[in-house]
């Protein structure tokens, strides 16, 4: 029987972020973008190199995701504008914009299967000891495909996406909904995610002991480290799960 590190209560659930915590979003997205770059001959039409295209798209996409998480743009705008804005910046004539390229991307990307090192070891460790949930800012169908294609779904008892719930992390209501589904209090679970704002601050604000998976090299912000509900930086999922 596993114990909560702070409350000493029986630990009942462990919640994971999906993208860049279990499923390597950056690597899988990069592979999908390479397919699109080649398929639509973007170097020929714009002079952009593959890496330039990927870097530009990632910057545009990140900006749109921040706006989506704040409720400033719809999912339809996010899905399409991240590509049209990228093509515009590249100087691609509108007549050459690949039609429905966002659908191509959403068909290719979630079927990629690169996982974060130690993801399966970690889920396997907790399986049978705790219930396992995935809390993700993303489109419901897309996230379900990722979980299925990468075989992560076999370990997961509950999935909550921002699209299905109607509100995105870091909203307290998003995390509270997961607690309500599980029938537990915040001190009967732990959460781990890579994003300092949507995951770490969001989880802590909901009263959950929250860990940061350090997908990036950016140092954890000092105000996060000072919060008693911050569990710490995690550089290895395999090592982290062994602390429970």
Please name the CATH architecture into which domain 13-24+115-241 falls: 3-Layer(aba) Sandwich (3.40)
- Of 118, 117, 93, 4, the residue nearest 40 (C-alpha): 93
Domain boundaries, the chain: 13-24+115-241, 26-111
The yes-or-no verdict on residue 212 having pLDDT over 90 is yes
- Identify the residue with better confidence: 139 or 214: 214
Q: What is the CATH number of domain 26-111?
A: 1.10.150.240
Same fold, 13-24+115-241 and 26-111: no
Taking only Cα atoms into account, the Rg of the chain, rounded to an integer number of angstroms, comes to 19
How distant, in Å, are the alpha carbons of 66, 94, 160, 216, 219 from that of 135?
A: 17, 37, 5, 20, 23
Average pLDDT over residues 46-71: 94
SS (H, E, C) 191-216: EEECCHHHHHHHHHHCCCEEEEECCC
pTM: 0.91
Q: What is the pLDDT of residue 75?
A: 87
Q: What is the pLDDT of residue 87?
A: 98
Q: What percent of the chain has pLDDT over 70?
A: 100
Average pLDDT over residues 175-190: 98
The answer to whether the beta carbons of residues 124 and 155 sit under 8 Å apart is yes
Q: What is the pLDDT of residue 59?
A: 96
Instruction: Tell me the pLDDT band of 52, cut-offs 50, 70 and 90.
Output: very high
Question: What does the alpha-carbon distance between residue 87 and residue 227 come to, in Å, rounded to a whole number?
Answer: 42
For residue range 144-166, list pLDDT tens digits in order. 999 999 999 999 999 999 999 99
């Amino acid at each position: 029987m596993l114990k909560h590190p702070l409350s000493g209560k029986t630990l009942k659930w462990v919640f994971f972020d999906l993208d860049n915590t279990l499923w390597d979003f950056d690597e899988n997205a990069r592979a999908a973008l390479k397919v699109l770059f080649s398929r639509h001959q973007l170097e020929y039409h714009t002079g952009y190199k593959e890496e330039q295209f990927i870097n530009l798209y990632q910057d545009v996409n990140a900006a749109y995701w921040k706006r989506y998480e704040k409720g400033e743009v719809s999912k339809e705008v996010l899905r399409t504008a991240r590509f049209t804005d990228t093509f515009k910046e590249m100087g691609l004539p509108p007549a050459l914009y690949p039609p429905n390229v966002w659908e191509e991307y959403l068909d290719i990307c979630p079927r990629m299967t690169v996982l974060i090192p130690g993801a399966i070891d970690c889920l396997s460790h907790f399986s049978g000891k705790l219930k396992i949930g995935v809390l993700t800012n993303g489109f419901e169908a897309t996230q379900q495909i990722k979980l299925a294609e990468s075989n992560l779904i076999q370990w997961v008892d509950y999935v909550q996406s921002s699209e299905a719930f109607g509100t995105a992390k870091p909203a307290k209501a998003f995390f509270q909904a997961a607690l309500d589904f599980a029938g537990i209090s915040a001190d009967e679970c732990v959460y781990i995610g890579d994003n300092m704002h949507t995951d770490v601050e969001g989880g802590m604000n909901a009263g959950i002991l929250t860990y940061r998976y350090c997908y990036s090299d950016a140092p954890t912000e000092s105000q996060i480290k000072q919060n008693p509900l911050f569990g710490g930086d995690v550089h290895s999922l395999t090592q982290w799960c062994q602390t429970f």
